[in-house]
Amino acid sequence: MTSDFDRIIDQRNAWSLKWDFGERILGERDIIPMWVADMDFPAPPAVVEAIRKRAEHGIYGYPITSKSFWPAVLRWLETRLGWPVEKSWLLRAPGVVSSLCLCVRAFSNPEDGVIVQTPVYFPFFGAVEMNGRRLVRNPLKYEGGFLMDFDNLERQIDSRTRMLILCSPHNPVGRVWTKDELERLGRICAANEIVIVSDEIHAELVFGGRRHIPTASLSEDLASRTITLFAPSKTFNLAGLTTSLAVVPNPELRKRLSAELERSGFELSNLFGLVALEAAYAHGGEWLDAVLLYLEGNIRFLQEFVGARIPRLKFLAPEGTYLGLLDCRSLGLEQKALHEFFWKRAKVYFSDGLLFGEELRGFMRINFACPKPLLNEALQRIEKAVSEAAAA
Protein backbone atom coordinates (compact mmCIF):
# COMPACT_ATOMS: atom_id res chain seq x y z
CA MET A 1 0.00 0.00 0.00
CA THR A 2 1.32 3.46 -0.84
CA SER A 3 0.29 6.40 1.32
CA ASP A 4 1.72 9.88 1.11
CA PHE A 5 2.47 10.36 4.79
CA ASP A 6 4.95 13.13 3.90
CA ARG A 7 2.11 15.36 2.71
CA ILE A 8 1.38 18.26 5.06
CA ILE A 9 -2.36 19.01 5.31
CA ASP A 10 -3.44 22.42 6.56
CA GLN A 11 -5.55 21.78 9.67
CA ARG A 12 -5.96 25.34 10.88
CA ASN A 13 -9.58 26.45 11.14
CA ALA A 14 -10.65 22.83 10.64
CA TRP A 15 -12.08 22.30 14.15
CA SER A 16 -8.69 21.00 15.37
CA LEU A 17 -7.80 21.47 19.02
CA LYS A 18 -4.21 20.60 18.23
CA TRP A 19 -3.74 23.10 15.41
CA ASP A 20 -5.96 25.99 16.52
CA PHE A 21 -4.74 26.06 20.12
CA GLY A 22 -1.67 28.13 19.27
CA GLU A 23 -3.55 31.03 17.72
CA ARG A 24 -6.72 30.92 19.82
CA ILE A 25 -5.20 30.28 23.26
CA LEU A 26 -1.54 31.28 23.05
CA GLY A 27 -1.95 34.08 20.53
CA GLU A 28 0.78 32.57 18.37
CA ARG A 29 -0.14 31.38 14.87
CA ASP A 30 3.32 30.22 13.80
CA ILE A 31 3.57 27.29 16.22
CA ILE A 32 4.14 23.67 15.26
CA PRO A 33 1.89 21.65 17.59
CA MET A 34 3.34 18.34 18.80
CA TRP A 35 1.26 17.81 21.91
CA VAL A 36 -2.29 16.38 21.60
CA ALA A 37 -2.13 12.65 20.83
CA ASP A 38 -3.70 12.53 17.40
CA MET A 39 -1.97 12.01 14.06
CA ASP A 40 -1.39 14.50 11.27
CA PHE A 41 -2.25 11.77 8.73
CA PRO A 42 -5.66 11.22 7.14
CA ALA A 43 -7.55 8.14 8.32
CA PRO A 44 -7.36 5.03 6.10
CA PRO A 45 -9.05 5.48 2.72
CA ALA A 46 -11.53 2.70 3.56
CA VAL A 47 -12.64 4.66 6.63
CA VAL A 48 -12.98 7.93 4.74
CA GLU A 49 -15.00 6.18 2.04
CA ALA A 50 -17.29 4.47 4.56
CA ILE A 51 -18.00 7.80 6.29
CA ARG A 52 -18.53 9.57 2.97
CA LYS A 53 -20.96 6.91 1.80
CA ARG A 54 -22.94 7.04 5.04
CA ALA A 55 -22.94 10.85 5.06
CA GLU A 56 -24.40 10.93 1.56
CA HIS A 57 -27.41 8.96 2.82
CA GLY A 58 -28.54 12.21 4.39
CA ILE A 59 -30.50 10.80 7.34
CA TYR A 60 -28.61 10.60 10.63
CA GLY A 61 -31.14 9.16 13.05
CA TYR A 62 -30.59 6.93 16.07
CA PRO A 63 -28.12 4.21 15.07
CA ILE A 64 -27.70 0.52 15.79
CA THR A 65 -24.71 -1.61 14.89
CA SER A 66 -24.70 -3.31 11.51
CA LYS A 67 -24.72 -7.09 11.16
CA SER A 68 -21.05 -6.99 10.21
CA PHE A 69 -19.95 -4.70 13.07
CA TRP A 70 -19.25 -7.23 15.82
CA PRO A 71 -17.66 -9.84 13.50
CA ALA A 72 -15.21 -7.14 12.33
CA VAL A 73 -14.29 -6.34 15.95
CA LEU A 74 -13.84 -10.00 16.89
CA ARG A 75 -11.70 -10.76 13.82
CA TRP A 76 -9.49 -7.75 14.53
CA LEU A 77 -8.87 -8.72 18.15
CA GLU A 78 -8.00 -12.29 17.20
CA THR A 79 -5.94 -11.69 14.09
CA ARG A 80 -4.18 -8.45 15.08
CA LEU A 81 -3.76 -8.95 18.83
CA GLY A 82 -3.95 -12.75 19.04
CA TRP A 83 -6.84 -12.52 21.47
CA PRO A 84 -9.95 -14.65 20.88
CA VAL A 85 -12.80 -12.75 22.52
CA GLU A 86 -16.43 -13.77 22.93
CA LYS A 87 -19.07 -11.39 21.66
CA SER A 88 -20.87 -11.51 25.03
CA TRP A 89 -17.82 -9.93 26.71
CA LEU A 90 -18.08 -6.71 24.69
CA LEU A 91 -19.76 -3.45 25.61
CA ARG A 92 -20.01 -0.30 23.53
CA ALA A 93 -18.77 2.75 25.38
CA PRO A 94 -17.99 6.42 24.83
CA GLY A 95 -14.34 7.45 24.63
CA VAL A 96 -11.76 5.67 26.75
CA VAL A 97 -11.40 8.58 29.21
CA SER A 98 -15.16 8.60 29.80
CA SER A 99 -15.00 4.84 30.25
CA LEU A 100 -12.29 5.22 32.89
CA CYS A 101 -14.61 7.45 34.89
CA LEU A 102 -17.45 4.95 34.51
CA CYS A 103 -15.17 2.13 35.70
CA VAL A 104 -14.04 4.11 38.74
CA ARG A 105 -17.68 4.58 39.74
CA ALA A 106 -18.67 1.00 38.91
CA PHE A 107 -15.85 -0.79 40.76
CA SER A 108 -15.06 1.39 43.76
CA ASN A 109 -16.76 3.52 46.39
CA PRO A 110 -15.99 7.05 47.62
CA GLU A 111 -12.64 7.22 49.46
CA ASP A 112 -11.54 3.82 48.12
CA GLY A 113 -7.98 3.71 46.81
CA VAL A 114 -7.29 3.56 43.07
CA ILE A 115 -3.70 2.96 41.98
CA VAL A 116 -2.04 4.68 39.02
CA GLN A 117 1.58 4.20 38.00
CA THR A 118 3.13 7.59 37.41
CA PRO A 119 4.21 9.28 35.23
CA VAL A 120 1.02 8.47 33.36
CA TYR A 121 -1.64 9.91 31.07
CA PHE A 122 -2.97 12.73 33.26
CA PRO A 123 -6.73 12.13 32.77
CA PHE A 124 -6.21 9.07 34.99
CA PHE A 125 -5.81 11.48 37.92
CA GLY A 126 -9.05 13.27 37.21
CA ALA A 127 -10.98 10.04 36.68
CA VAL A 128 -10.07 9.07 40.24
CA GLU A 129 -10.16 12.35 42.13
CA MET A 130 -13.16 13.98 40.43
CA ASN A 131 -15.18 10.93 41.37
CA GLY A 132 -14.26 11.17 45.05
CA ARG A 133 -11.81 8.29 45.18
CA ARG A 134 -8.36 8.30 46.76
CA LEU A 135 -5.52 8.54 44.26
CA VAL A 136 -2.68 6.14 45.08
CA ARG A 137 0.52 6.79 43.15
CA ASN A 138 2.98 3.99 42.49
CA PRO A 139 5.83 5.67 40.56
CA LEU A 140 7.64 3.72 37.88
CA LYS A 141 11.36 3.16 38.41
CA TYR A 142 13.85 4.44 35.88
CA GLU A 143 16.79 2.09 35.42
CA GLY A 144 17.93 2.83 31.89
CA GLY A 145 14.24 2.39 31.05
CA PHE A 146 10.97 2.61 32.94
CA LEU A 147 9.96 -0.39 35.07
CA MET A 148 7.06 -1.17 37.38
CA ASP A 149 8.05 -0.97 41.05
CA PHE A 150 6.36 -4.12 42.33
CA ASP A 151 7.80 -3.91 45.85
CA ASN A 152 6.47 -0.40 46.34
CA LEU A 153 3.17 -1.41 44.77
CA GLU A 154 2.62 -4.02 47.46
CA ARG A 155 3.46 -1.47 50.17
CA GLN A 156 0.91 0.98 48.75
CA ILE A 157 -2.03 -1.43 48.94
CA ASP A 158 -4.33 -1.29 51.97
CA SER A 159 -7.70 -2.78 52.88
CA ARG A 160 -9.57 -0.10 50.90
CA THR A 161 -7.57 -0.37 47.68
CA ARG A 162 -10.07 -1.52 45.06
CA MET A 163 -8.65 -0.82 41.62
CA LEU A 164 -5.52 -0.35 39.56
CA ILE A 165 -5.60 1.57 36.28
CA LEU A 166 -2.98 0.19 33.91
CA CYS A 167 -1.72 2.01 30.82
CA SER A 168 -0.62 -0.61 28.28
CA PRO A 169 1.26 0.34 26.14
CA HIS A 170 2.23 3.12 28.48
CA ASN A 171 1.65 6.79 27.73
CA PRO A 172 3.91 8.77 28.05
CA VAL A 173 6.95 6.54 28.73
CA GLY A 174 6.29 4.25 25.76
CA ARG A 175 6.79 0.90 27.47
CA VAL A 176 5.25 -2.23 25.96
CA TRP A 177 4.87 -4.40 29.05
CA THR A 178 6.23 -7.94 28.89
CA LYS A 179 4.38 -11.13 29.76
CA ASP A 180 6.41 -11.49 32.97
CA GLU A 181 5.63 -7.93 34.07
CA LEU A 182 1.91 -8.31 33.43
CA GLU A 183 1.75 -11.69 35.16
CA ARG A 184 3.54 -10.37 38.25
CA LEU A 185 1.19 -7.40 38.36
CA GLY A 186 -1.73 -9.78 38.04
CA ARG A 187 -0.57 -11.93 40.94
CA ILE A 188 -0.34 -8.89 43.22
CA CYS A 189 -3.81 -7.73 42.22
CA ALA A 190 -5.26 -11.22 42.66
CA ALA A 191 -3.77 -11.56 46.14
CA ASN A 192 -5.42 -8.28 47.15
CA GLU A 193 -8.71 -8.66 45.25
CA ILE A 194 -8.00 -5.63 43.09
CA VAL A 195 -9.80 -4.97 39.81
CA ILE A 196 -7.55 -3.99 36.88
CA VAL A 197 -8.82 -1.45 34.37
CA SER A 198 -6.42 -1.74 31.44
CA ASP A 199 -6.30 1.19 29.01
CA GLU A 200 -5.05 -0.46 25.82
CA ILE A 201 -5.91 2.28 23.35
CA HIS A 202 -2.37 2.15 21.87
CA ALA A 203 -2.38 -1.66 21.55
CA GLU A 204 -1.57 -1.81 17.84
CA LEU A 205 1.10 0.91 17.92
CA VAL A 206 4.21 -1.11 18.83
CA PHE A 207 7.64 -1.14 17.21
CA GLY A 208 10.79 -3.17 16.80
CA GLY A 209 9.12 -6.54 16.42
CA ARG A 210 7.50 -6.29 19.85
CA ARG A 211 4.01 -7.61 20.52
CA HIS A 212 1.37 -6.03 22.69
CA ILE A 213 -0.12 -8.54 25.11
CA PRO A 214 -3.71 -7.86 26.21
CA THR A 215 -3.64 -8.10 29.99
CA ALA A 216 -6.79 -10.20 30.17
CA SER A 217 -5.46 -12.72 27.64
CA LEU A 218 -2.83 -14.17 29.96
CA SER A 219 -4.94 -16.32 32.27
CA GLU A 220 -8.46 -17.02 33.39
CA ASP A 221 -7.75 -15.29 36.69
CA LEU A 222 -6.53 -12.12 34.99
CA ALA A 223 -9.49 -12.22 32.62
CA SER A 224 -11.85 -12.49 35.59
CA ARG A 225 -10.57 -9.26 37.18
CA THR A 226 -9.67 -7.15 34.13
CA ILE A 227 -11.70 -4.63 32.18
CA THR A 228 -9.95 -3.82 28.90
CA LEU A 229 -10.69 -0.49 27.24
CA PHE A 230 -9.78 -0.08 23.60
CA ALA A 231 -10.71 1.98 20.55
CA PRO A 232 -9.55 2.75 17.01
CA SER A 233 -8.94 6.36 18.09
CA LYS A 234 -5.14 6.41 18.21
CA THR A 235 -4.47 3.59 15.77
CA PHE A 236 -6.51 5.05 12.90
CA ASN A 237 -6.71 8.73 13.94
CA LEU A 238 -10.42 8.68 14.82
CA ALA A 239 -10.40 10.38 18.24
CA GLY A 240 -12.98 12.97 17.20
CA LEU A 241 -15.58 10.24 16.64
CA THR A 242 -15.66 9.31 20.37
CA THR A 243 -16.41 5.61 20.03
CA SER A 244 -14.77 2.88 22.09
CA LEU A 245 -15.33 -0.63 23.41
CA ALA A 246 -14.82 -2.48 26.67
CA VAL A 247 -13.98 -6.17 27.00
CA VAL A 248 -15.28 -7.61 30.27
CA PRO A 249 -15.10 -11.44 30.49
CA ASN A 250 -16.39 -11.57 34.08
CA PRO A 251 -20.22 -11.48 33.93
CA GLU A 252 -20.55 -9.82 37.34
CA LEU A 253 -18.13 -7.03 36.46
CA ARG A 254 -19.80 -6.68 33.07
CA LYS A 255 -23.18 -6.31 34.75
CA ARG A 256 -21.82 -3.56 37.02
CA LEU A 257 -20.22 -1.63 34.18
CA SER A 258 -23.32 -2.02 32.02
CA ALA A 259 -25.43 -0.62 34.86
CA GLU A 260 -23.09 2.36 35.21
CA LEU A 261 -23.32 3.01 31.48
CA GLU A 262 -27.11 2.98 31.78
CA ARG A 263 -27.11 5.28 34.83
CA SER A 264 -24.92 7.71 32.89
CA GLY A 265 -27.42 7.84 30.06
CA PHE A 266 -25.16 6.15 27.55
CA GLU A 267 -27.31 4.10 25.21
CA LEU A 268 -26.31 5.29 21.75
CA SER A 269 -22.99 5.59 19.98
CA ASN A 270 -21.92 8.19 17.47
CA LEU A 271 -23.27 7.00 14.12
CA PHE A 272 -20.12 7.91 12.21
CA GLY A 273 -17.98 6.47 15.00
CA LEU A 274 -19.64 3.08 14.50
CA VAL A 275 -19.19 3.27 10.74
CA ALA A 276 -15.53 4.27 11.08
CA LEU A 277 -14.73 1.65 13.71
CA GLU A 278 -16.09 -1.17 11.57
CA ALA A 279 -14.31 0.05 8.44
CA ALA A 280 -11.01 0.46 10.28
CA TYR A 281 -11.06 -3.00 11.82
CA ALA A 282 -12.34 -4.66 8.64
CA HIS A 283 -10.11 -2.91 6.09
CA GLY A 284 -7.44 -0.85 7.88
CA GLY A 285 -4.70 -3.42 8.47
CA GLU A 286 -2.62 -2.63 5.39
CA TRP A 287 -2.79 1.11 6.10
CA LEU A 288 -1.71 0.47 9.70
CA ASP A 289 1.30 -1.58 8.56
CA ALA A 290 2.37 1.33 6.39
CA VAL A 291 1.94 3.96 9.10
CA LEU A 292 3.90 1.84 11.59
CA LEU A 293 6.86 1.73 9.19
CA TYR A 294 6.62 5.49 8.76
CA LEU A 295 6.51 6.09 12.51
CA GLU A 296 9.57 3.89 13.02
CA GLY A 297 11.33 6.06 10.46
CA ASN A 298 10.36 9.14 12.45
CA ILE A 299 11.79 7.55 15.61
CA ARG A 300 15.12 6.94 13.85
CA PHE A 301 15.11 10.48 12.47
CA LEU A 302 14.52 11.91 15.94
CA GLN A 303 17.29 9.81 17.46
CA GLU A 304 19.79 10.80 14.80
CA PHE A 305 18.88 14.50 14.67
CA VAL A 306 18.77 15.06 18.42
CA GLY A 307 21.88 12.96 19.03
CA ALA A 308 23.97 14.72 16.39
CA ARG A 309 22.62 18.27 16.37
CA ILE A 310 20.96 18.95 19.73
CA PRO A 311 23.15 16.95 22.14
CA ARG A 312 21.97 18.97 25.14
CA LEU A 313 18.65 17.15 24.76
CA LYS A 314 18.03 13.42 24.91
CA PHE A 315 15.24 11.62 23.07
CA LEU A 316 13.83 8.57 24.84
CA ALA A 317 12.53 6.42 22.00
CA PRO A 318 9.32 4.55 22.85
CA GLU A 319 8.69 0.84 22.39
CA GLY A 320 5.08 1.68 21.56
CA THR A 321 2.71 4.63 20.99
CA TYR A 322 3.68 7.58 18.76
CA LEU A 323 4.71 9.62 21.80
CA GLY A 324 8.26 10.07 23.01
CA LEU A 325 10.02 11.95 25.78
CA LEU A 326 12.61 14.68 25.45
CA ASP A 327 14.93 14.93 28.45
CA CYS A 328 15.64 18.65 28.66
CA ARG A 329 17.14 18.80 32.14
CA SER A 330 20.55 19.91 30.90
CA LEU A 331 19.03 23.22 29.80
CA GLY A 332 18.76 24.09 33.49
CA LEU A 333 15.34 25.73 33.26
CA GLU A 334 12.47 25.59 35.73
CA GLN A 335 9.47 23.74 34.34
CA LYS A 336 7.35 26.76 33.42
CA ALA A 337 10.33 28.45 31.79
CA LEU A 338 11.20 25.23 29.96
CA HIS A 339 7.72 24.89 28.50
CA GLU A 340 7.72 28.55 27.45
CA PHE A 341 11.21 28.20 25.96
CA PHE A 342 9.89 25.75 23.39
CA TRP A 343 6.70 27.50 22.39
CA LYS A 344 7.88 31.10 22.71
CA ARG A 345 11.42 30.79 21.35
CA ALA A 346 11.41 27.62 19.25
CA LYS A 347 7.75 27.98 18.24
CA VAL A 348 7.11 24.28 18.94
CA TYR A 349 4.42 23.27 21.40
CA PHE A 350 4.88 20.09 23.46
CA SER A 351 2.96 18.50 26.32
CA ASP A 352 4.61 19.54 29.59
CA GLY A 353 6.13 16.47 31.22
CA LEU A 354 5.00 17.61 34.64
CA LEU A 355 1.37 17.04 33.62
CA PHE A 356 2.04 13.30 33.83
CA GLY A 357 3.72 13.33 37.21
CA GLU A 358 6.58 14.80 39.20
CA GLU A 359 8.85 12.10 37.73
CA LEU A 360 8.94 14.01 34.42
CA ARG A 361 10.07 17.36 35.74
CA GLY A 362 12.52 18.59 33.12
CA PHE A 363 10.92 16.52 30.32
CA MET A 364 8.59 17.28 27.43
CA ARG A 365 6.35 14.80 25.62
CA ILE A 366 6.60 14.91 21.83
CA ASN A 367 4.02 13.57 19.39
CA PHE A 368 5.93 12.44 16.30
CA ALA A 369 2.93 11.15 14.30
CA CYS A 370 3.38 13.82 11.67
CA PRO A 371 4.90 14.21 8.20
CA LYS A 372 8.69 14.01 8.28
CA PRO A 373 9.10 17.48 6.68
CA LEU A 374 7.11 18.95 9.58
CA LEU A 375 9.16 17.01 12.13
CA ASN A 376 12.35 18.24 10.47
CA GLU A 377 11.14 21.85 10.61
CA ALA A 378 10.29 21.51 14.31
CA LEU A 379 13.69 20.04 15.15
CA GLN A 380 15.49 22.74 13.18
CA ARG A 381 13.60 25.37 15.15
CA ILE A 382 14.58 23.68 18.42
CA GLU A 383 18.20 23.36 17.31
CA LYS A 384 18.34 27.08 16.53
CA ALA A 385 16.69 28.09 19.84
CA VAL A 386 18.98 25.88 21.93
CA SER A 387 22.05 27.15 20.07
CA GLU A 388 21.08 30.77 20.54
CA ALA A 389 20.36 30.23 24.23
CA ALA A 390 23.78 28.64 24.73
CA ALA A 391 25.48 31.58 22.99
CA ALA A 392 23.61 34.23 24.97
**Taking residues 263-269, what's their average pLDDT?**
88
Q: Over 60: is that where the pLDDT of 185 sits?
A: yes
How far, in Å, CA of 315 to CA of 327, rounded?
Answer: 6
What is the pLDDT at residue 267?
81
Q: Over 90: is that where the pLDDT of 367 sits?
A: yes
What is the pLDDT at residue 3?
67
Pairing of strands 226-230, 195-199: parallel
- Of 183-197, 236-250, 256-270, 341-355, minimum mean pLDDT range: 256-270
What is the pLDDT at residue 2?
52
Predicted confidence band of residue 392 (pLDDT cuts 50, 70, 90): confident
Sign of CA dihedral 31, 349, 238, 8: positive
Q: Could you tell me the strand order of the sheet in which 113-116 lies?
A: 90-93, 244-247, 226-230, 195-199, 161-167, 113-116, 134-137
**Taking residues 30-39, what's their average pLDDT?**
97
Please, what is the end-to-end C-alpha distance for the chain in angstroms? Answer: 49
Residue pair 236/43 in contact (Cβ under 8 Å)? The answer is yes
How far, in Å, CA of 207 to CA of 107, rounded?
Answer: 33
pTM: 0.96
Q: Over 60: is that where the pLDDT of 90 sits?
A: yes
Give alpha helix (H) positions in the chain: 17-21, 45-57, 69-81, 96-107, 123-129, 150-156, 179-191, 220-225, 251-263, 271-283, 285-309, 335-340, 372-391
H helix count then E strand count, the chain: 13, 15
Taken in order of first residue, the domains within the chain and their CATH numbers are: 17-43+285-391 (3.90.1150.10), 47-283 (3.40.640.10)
344 secondary structure, DSSP code: I
Q: Over 90: is that where the pLDDT of 327 sits?
A: yes
**Taking residues 275-301, what's their average pLDDT?**
98
Predicted confidence band of residue 1 (pLDDT cuts 50, 70, 90): low
**Taking residues 182-199, what's their average pLDDT?**
98
pLDDT tens digits for range 123-150? 999 999 999 999 999 999 999 899 999 9
